[in-house]
Structure 1
Amino acid sequence: MHIAVLPDERARRDPAGACLADDTAALTNSEFARKTLAAAAALRDRGIRAGDVVATLLPNRVELVVALFAAWRLGAAVTPVNPALTEPEARFQIEDSGARVVLGPAGADLVTMPVDELDGDATDAGLEGTLTEDALALLIYTSGTTGRPKGVLLDHANLAAMTGMIIAGIGLGPDDHSLLILPLFHVNGIVVSVLSPLLAGGRATIAGRFRAETFLTTVERVRPTYFSAVPAIYARLCTLPADQTADLGSLRLVICGAAPMPAELISRFEQRFGVPLVEGYGLSEGTCASTLNPPAGPRKPGTVGLPLPGQRVALMTSGGALLGDGPGEVVIQGPNVMRGYLNQPEATAATIVDGWLRTGDVGRFDADGYLVLVDRIKDMIIRGGENLYPKEIENALYAHPAVLEAAVVGMPDPVLGEVPVATVAAHPGTRVTAEELLDHCRGRLAKIKLPTRIDIVAVLPKNAVGKIDKPFLRRQLISS
């Protein structure tokens, strides 16, 4: 079954069954199918045809998912735009993608089709003859931390492979109900929290803006079986007052991705909430995930798990030779690997080499074949000719009970080239000094790895996906 006809198939099987909800709407399968048909007709009337690109400039809401399936029904692709981008940033993505229509709130800058236009008459707008697995489905833009954002080309075969791996990896079925809290302009939110549960026969609820203070009551009210989040969200939840509780009994697991999660934070979350936390690893260029700590166990905090079935994950030297146990650059093969970057053949050739997706991450395998991420290649600090990995220093800092979040970046040094500098946020209500943290690290790190400076801040900067914004920290050091 092509993913574009999923709304029809769900409506045929169980018309009155719950499908998709947000803070203002709850759609049954038949209602979701009707809205998808209506939206496809509206897009067709706007001239959208197979091979075109539709941009969505929307916050997380039901209409964004409807727009995805409507565009796919016509053989078109979708590029989701972060609504928090500045006008020049959003314009770059819209123009670079070649989007013919921009869906968004009426009257908003750059919007060419008000989202309300999607909800018209449900006529048969199906063009099933154009539905092929090699048709472009998503155009996801990278965060642009190393320059201009690049458009990652994902086709329907990529989505079919990835959703199948997610469904098998976490054992999704008709009884599963995801709670979406990650942004829908990111592939994790689309694949893990929407497409996979819907394809498995389950359902999805789109939460409003994440607020730690109200999230537990949201879980108690919605009764999801799982949600996917980033380390910063789990850290925030762990800082809630001890008397702030809720019934979380519906959750059978939660998932962490997008950035490595310290083992101490995983333990803290599981002890506090009694819910298994499953960490995985992947990137947009691999359509989301490549490894996962198996929910049935054994789960190994400090690793990102085992390769998902259907993918090959290996380690490679800078010269392209495969390694045994590493450390080396993590490389990936499988049907989930992107087609390439839009209109960037040189970047594509540098990233997909001899059939391997080069991730830019350094890793090693433990004795049981679990992948341990050492760090990003670009984040490595070269101090007086010695390679230092910030993640190792961060892990030492996280072992201090007062540390909520930590980030280490390299600061230019006229003698040594670079030196490590740490920025730390403490748990609310706790006090810790830079000297205390340095003393703590001395027992865990060689002298050359010790931060030359530790800055204590109230909160660490985050990018749009919720990752700690290391490029911002580097810029601050250079300008200070």
Structure 2
Amino acid sequence: MLNLSVVLEDSARNNPDGVAVVFGDMRLPYSMVDTVANQVANLLVSRGVGPGDKVALACPNLPYFPFVYYGILKAGAAVVPLNVLLQPREIAYHLDDSDAKALFCFEGTPELPLGERGRAGFEAAEGCEHFFVLPATPLATESEYGESFWAALDGMPGTFETAATAPDDTAVILYTSGTTGQPKGAELSHQNMLMNTLVCDQMFERDIERDVYLAVLPLFHSFGQTVVMNVGFRRRAAVVLMPRFEPGEALELMRREGVTFFAGVPTMYWALLTKIHADGGEAPATLRTAVAGGSSSPVEVLKDFERTFGVPILEGYGLSETSPVASFNQPGRPTKPGTVGTPIWGVEMRLVDAEWKTVEDEPGEIAIRGHNVMKGYYGRPEATAEVLRDGWFRTGDIATRDADGYYAIIDRAKDMIIRGGFNVYPRELEEVLLTHEAVSLAAVVGVPHDSHGEEVKAYVIRTPGATITEAELVAWCRENMAGYKYPRVVEFRDALPMTATGKILKRELR
């Protein structure tokens, strides 16, 4: 018997009155979160949903998320978290592809009409039988989109005997963003998710009084789910929920709630720093641990953050398929800015070529083996066979490894630009661009070119008040980068397209 819901149950048993969730003025104790999760489990069982079934959850960072997430796990079913920005057609695809029997869907807001989209997606999905609305008004028992969560829970007992799931049973199916083809569901077991939570919990320093986690990374994404929610609940922290990242509000929440732990993607760190420098604001004094992942942080941002906040950003690396953390700049070992550290406890990494042969002293594709590697892509044996061999998972990320065993991500294999036969790694050029005082943020992509195959193009957000022209920046690049790789084209933008998790969407720039 091993069930991921133990991270909540154990804390509710040992710290029932401790604050588990903070949302606005709400303070919800561990005992209450566990009780509502038990009611959710009872509700699912009463509707014929149980071990081996799949249940989808479309919800931003609201208290509903942990209620439903752990309730599904207690019932022995697998959670299928959905990106809240999906359109009806995409919601239907995910419900069908995962064989979901039920969908819990947030009612939405005028800016995010999730209830409407979820209902339409549910109607279009053939096998999905139950639709529960998570109302925008607290405790509302009616919704125009269908059965209200609170009405459905009415009369459900607050105790539940958690299903005896096996370590290898599926706990979560995480859909990977599908930059190539249709999104695929990475099937992660209770053991995958729980081991990743335990190892991460061990790595991060604990606060003597109590940990306060800021959850602004989407909980539907593996990084927020494991590193913030599951680790936070495992160590009995107060998890402060923030549905949408806004740098001024995030800094205010950090100050008000005494946040000790922050996890974010590089664009969030960039935005926090930009806000502080623009307003001459103070950095919150309570922050003890700052963790970054999702994509590589520019070295300039790492230096600026440590100067401004007085704590280093610890960079790690992982994917939905690896639960997610695979490597990390671990406390107790020297951190190396610009690297993603060394493999976490119980995990091995190596660099391979296209034939899976190990490569030394040169860039290669990262392959990972350990307790964190998924069972496979749900219902896709061919796609699984392409990436999994003898327990090793190949990631599609190109990296180097130094003499001390630290890995540095150069780029996604598919982001690499081949210009006139030379390999150009966009990330390297972005790093150089960010050293120019007029450049605030940069994204480099390959665009089609008649004679070179691809040409290098940079999209740039200028720092406020900068007057540099595109031609001047190209000339500067020519002086600071090799002839085959400097961007021949620069385009200034006020903003760059980003995913819900704050990654720059390069495919929209190409």
Question: How far is the alpha carbon of 1:80 from its aligned partner?
Answer: 1.0
Which runs of 4 or more aligned residues in structure 1 lie more than 6 Å from their structure 2 counterparts after TM superposition?
none
1:163 aligns with 2:197: yes
Contact 1:181 1:207 in 2 (8 A): yes
Mapped partners of 1:43, 1:206: distance in 2: 25
1:231 aligns with 2:250: no
1:441 aligns with 2:474: no
Cα distance change on mapping 1:444 and 1:369 into 2, 3 Å:
farther
Corresponding residue number in structure 2 for 1:3: 4
Mapped partners of 2:388, 2:489: distance in 1: 38
Amino acid at match of 2:160: G
Corresponding residue number in structure 1 for 2:397: 361
1:120 aligns with 2:154: yes
Mapped partners of 1:411, 1:6: distance in 2: 47
Question: How far is the alpha carbon of 1:244 from its aligned partner?
Answer: 4.2
**Aligned-residue RMSD, C-alpha:** 1.8
> Secondary structure in 2 aligned to 1:148?
coil
Question: How far is the alpha carbon of 1:83 from its aligned partner?
Answer: 1.9
Q: What is the CA deviation profile of residues 322-360 of structure 1, one whole-angstrom value per residue up to 9, with x for unaligned ones?
A: 122331111111010011111111111111123211011
Question: How far is the alpha carbon of 1:230 from its aligned partner?
Answer: 0.7
Mapped partners of 2:165, 2:410: distance in 1: 41
Corresponding residue number in structure 2 for 1:152: 186
> Secondary structure in 1 aligned to 2:268?
helix
Q: What is the CA deviation profile of residues 71-100 of structure 1, one whole-angstrom value per residue up to 9, with x for unaligned ones?
A: 111100111112221111111111211111
Question: How far is the alpha carbon of 1:15 from its aligned partner?
Answer: 1.8
More displaced, 196-205 or 60-69? 196-205
Corresponding residue number in structure 2 for 1:140: 174
Cα distance change on mapping 1:464 and 1:8 into 2, 3 Å:
closer
Amino acid at match of 1:456: F
Amino acid at match of 1:257: G
> Secondary structure in 2 aligned to 1:323?
coil
Corresponding residue number in structure 2 for 1:343: 379
Cα distance change on mapping 1:372 and 1:6 into 2, 3 Å:
closer
Corresponding residue number in structure 2 for 1:472: 508
1:458 aligns with 2:494: yes
Cα distance change on mapping 1:133 and 1:388 into 2, 3 Å:
same
Contact 1:79 1:139 in 2 (8 A): yes
Contact 1:164 1:196 in 2 (8 A): yes
1:182 aligns with 2:190: no
Question: How far is the alpha carbon of 1:247 from its aligned partner?
Answer: 5.8
> Secondary structure in 2 aligned to 1:359?
strand
More displaced, 302-311 or 289-298? 289-298
More displaced, 136-145 or 289-298? 289-298
Mapped partners of 2:7, 2:228: distance in 1: 16
Cα distance change on mapping 1:292 and 1:148 into 2, 3 Å:
same
Cα distance change on mapping 1:160 and 1:447 into 2, 3 Å:
same
More displaced, 438-447 or 380-389? 438-447
Cα distance change on mapping 1:368 and 1:185 into 2, 3 Å:
same
Amino acid at match of 1:193: V
Q: Unpaired runs of 5+ in structure 2?
A: 108-114, 120-130, 135-148
Contact 1:220 1:246 in 2 (8 A): no
Corresponding residue number in structure 2 for 1:193: 228
Spell out the pairing of 1:75-474 with structure 2 (5 A cutoff).
75-105=76-106, 108-111=116-119, 112-115=131-134, 116-117=149-150, 119-121=153-155, 123=157, 126-172=160-206, 175-242=210-277, 243-246=279-282, 248-474=284-510
Mapped partners of 1:276, 1:366: distance in 2: 21
Contact 1:316 1:330 in 2 (8 A): yes
Mapped partners of 1:302, 1:472: distance in 2: 26
Contact 2:3 2:73 in 1 (8 A): no
Q: What is the CA deviation profile of residues 281-324 of structure 1, one whole-angstrom value per residue up to 9, with x for unaligned ones?
A: 11111111111112344211111111111110111111111122
Mapped partners of 1:356, 1:269: distance in 2: 35
Question: How far is the alpha carbon of 1:246 from its aligned partner?
Answer: 4.2
Mapped partners of 1:464, 1:59: distance in 2: 10
Corresponding residue number in structure 2 for 1:65: 66
Q: Unpaired runs of 5+ in structure 1?
A: 475-480
Mapped partners of 2:117, 2:416: distance in 1: 40
Mapped partners of 1:269, 1:439: distance in 2: 29
Corresponding residue number in structure 2 for 1:14: 15
Amino acid at match of 1:19: A
Q: What is the CA deviation profile of residues 384-415 of structure 1, one whole-angstrom value per residue up to 9, with x for unaligned ones?
A: 21111111211111121221211111111111
Question: How far is the alpha carbon of 1:274 from its aligned partner?
Answer: 2.1
Q: TM-score, normalised by structure 1?
A: 0.94
Q: What is the CA deviation profile of residues 433-462 of structure 1, one whole-angstrom value per residue up to 9, with x for unaligned ones?
A: 223322332333110111120111111111
